[in-house]
Amino acid sequence: MAALELFTIGQIVAPHGVRGDVRIYPDTDFPERFLHMKYGYIDGKKYEVEHARFHKRVVLMKFVGIDDRTAAEQIIRKEFQVTRDELVPLKEGQHYVFDIIGMSVYDTEGNKLGVLTDIMKTGSNDVYTVTDSDGKEVLLAAIPSVIKSVDEETGKMVVDPPEWVDE
């Protein structure tokens, strides 16, 4: 049987109380999803969600079978994950970070600029870090005037860098 492809949506950071609840720091653009989950994965094992609610900046979640603080402490510092089918569908033109990191990046004339190596969240728009074969980095604003196309199937991104970016 093939291994499950799992995606991290949160980090279990601490137990909460004495009844087995844990605090999960959401690592997703869709934190409200935690309130409707039926199950998730920890270390590749499927856990049924008994209940979940927000508390300050974390999600308090209780799993079936984790019934006391000692049991909760066993899953601390673990990733809370879901399968690809359970990811929140994205709008047209949106992409999951893990689907585009590693893409080859080309300019509009077909010249390879490098590989997408990082995505920085700045608040107004993301900034893509493209690293060439010599290790030189170029930062590109993830806006429609710069990012012309993203093809997940071929692993190719076409960009129109600003004129001040050396190529």
pLDDT of residue 36: 94
Mean pLDDT of 35-61: 96
pLDDT interval class at 6 (50, 70, 90): very high
Q: Model-level pTM?
A: 0.73
The domains of the chain, with CATH numbers, are: 6-86 (2.40.30.60), 97-159 (2.30.30.240)
How large is the C-alpha radius of gyration of the chain? 20
- Contact by Cβ (8 Å): 40, 47: yes
With tokens 């004495």, the residue in question is: 18
Q: What is the mean pLDDT of residues 115-132?
A: 92
Residue-level pLDDT at 91: 86
Q: Is the pLDDT of residue 167 over 80?
A: no
Show contacts of 111-114: CB within 8 Å, 24+ apart. 111/167, 113/138, 113/159, 113/161, 113/167, 114/138
Sign of CA dihedral 167, 141, 143, 99: positive
Partnered with residue 52 across adjacent β-strands are: 61
For residue 129, pLDDT over 60 is answered with: yes
Mean of pLDDT values over 60-85: 96
Query: Environment class of residue 23 by beta-carbon count within 10 Å: exposed (0-12), middle (13-18) or buried (19+)?
Result: buried
